[in-house]
Amino acid sequence: MSDQSLNWLIIVDVTYVAILVVTAIRIIWDTTATHKTLAYLLLVFFVPIFGVLFYFSFGVNYRKRKVYSKKLIKDDQLRRRVIRQIITRSEANLRAYRERIGNATGLARLLLNSSISPLTIGNRVRVLVNGEEKFPEVLESLRSARHHIHLEYYIYEEGEIGNEIAEVLMAKAREGVKVRVIYDAFGSRGLRRRFIRDLRSAGVEVFPFNRIHFAPLANRLNYRNHRKIIVVDGATGFVGGLNISDRYANYTPRLGRRPEVFWRDTHVRIDGPGVMHLQYLFFCDWNFCAKQDLAPDADYFPLKRFPGGEESVQIAASGPDSPASTIMLSMAKAINLARREILISTPYFIPGETILNAIRVAALSGVSVKILAPGLSDSRLVNAAAWSYYDDLLSAGVEIYLYRKGFIHAKSMVVDDNLAVVGTANMDYRSFELNFEVNAVVYSEGVARTLREIFMEDLKDAERIDPVTWRERTIFKQIPEKMARLLSPLL
């Protein structure tokens, strides 16, 4: 080897080592969670070049680099006054409905203090099972809109469902209804330009969340807007696990066919003041995406137009812009509140130590804990990582069921007799730390009872894992799961 070649090799080696050192310092400085810090460091040092590219593409911490501001009210003095009013009203509701909320008062205060999410009363909440119940309800609500329609989705796909909703949106826009649509640029990457152009030509305002120009180099690709929100006239809202796509409908009437995989999912419709925080989240996301300054007023945040209802509702939301994961904290708190029973449905179960220990403590304390997870998954790697947690849970007495009828995509939790959670957040690192998510927290015996009945019906199509058989699996099955668990903070 010539001296010149040797010199070039030395320069390359020194440069690469310098890049590794700088990247390592950046990871240590920027990544708050120890498990993620170690995972990224292992990836950077043991997978040359790719590890560095992966971190800078997907790992940059936007909690320290605010993605956007949530300050809808620019006047700080007015904003502080509004926050005081929300806290005062919520505390009054807590006192007035203490018996109905029961021992979940601490959870209500957590949501109030961590994200100024108001505790609202007088809502009507309807649980919607699968696309067969959700989509007709959504279409009826959209057709009844008089002032505005706000729609925000991770996945919006063209097809029978997507096109029918688009036709209604365009028709309402032509009638003079303000129609605004946000779609995630990654989740809805299949939307054609012509589809967007047709919506805009009809008067629908449409913007992507975090526009992606070149996916392989998009460092915001990892920070996805996973929310599914619809708000109609500020009084009716929808939130849950179902995106807009034919795959979420188990039967499409016009096409007269069923999908290859049965899709089991859960959504809720809320009529009442609980919708206002969904509206607030949409406004924040809209002003970021559209680069507008849409201001809240009585048309968008009505105070006296709500139908009478009996349910108490709070909205839990978090994302990379939040100082802490309200979603994760609220789930942990809800689990800790349990005295009798916890029922969890989740398609992706990579809980992290906080949620894992909360579930184990509950089970070891005598609480009946049942988890319904996919038997059929759309990601083998995620499934393997999830299975690595089952040993700890089974040893603590948790009952784990694998859904066999199709794919379980519902994200719900029932705690005892009066607390129910339905939303977009999976029980995994991505939902807790990376995605923009939203859950509806409902303090209601009726809603909790409905979700419990649905859960028990789902168990009829599930297979319970036998702890003894599970522990006797061969080492060749367990090693890939342990390896996948090492990557779980990055999945």
Q: What positions carry a catalytic annotation?
A: 226, 228, 233, 409, 411, 416
Mode of pairing for the β-strands spanning 349-350 and 427-428:
parallel
Query: Residue 37: helix, strand or coil by DSSP?
Result: helix
**H/E element, 328:** helix 326-337
Strands (E) in 217-298, as ranges, are 228-232, 236-240, 263-264, 266-271
Q: Report residue 460: phi and psi, to 5°.
A: -65, -25
H runs (alpha helix) in 208-307 = 275-290
State both tokens at 90.
């919520």
Q: Which of 379, 387, 452, 382 is nearest to 415 (CA)?
A: 452
CA 276 from centroid of its chain's CA atoms: 18
Axis crossing angle, helix 193-201 with helix 160-174, rounded to the nearest 10 = 20
What is the residue whose two structure tokens read 């807590």? 94
Q: How far is CA 8 from CA 3, 14, 247, 378, 417, in A?
A: 9, 10, 54, 46, 70
Encoded amino acid at 222, one letter: N
Handedness of CA 71, 124, 312, 363 (dihedral sign): negative
β-bridge partners, 148 = 178
Query: Residue 123: helix, strand or coil by DSSP?
Result: strand
**H/E element, 3:** helix 3-30
Contact 299, 444 (CB under 8 A): no
β-bridge partners, 333 = none
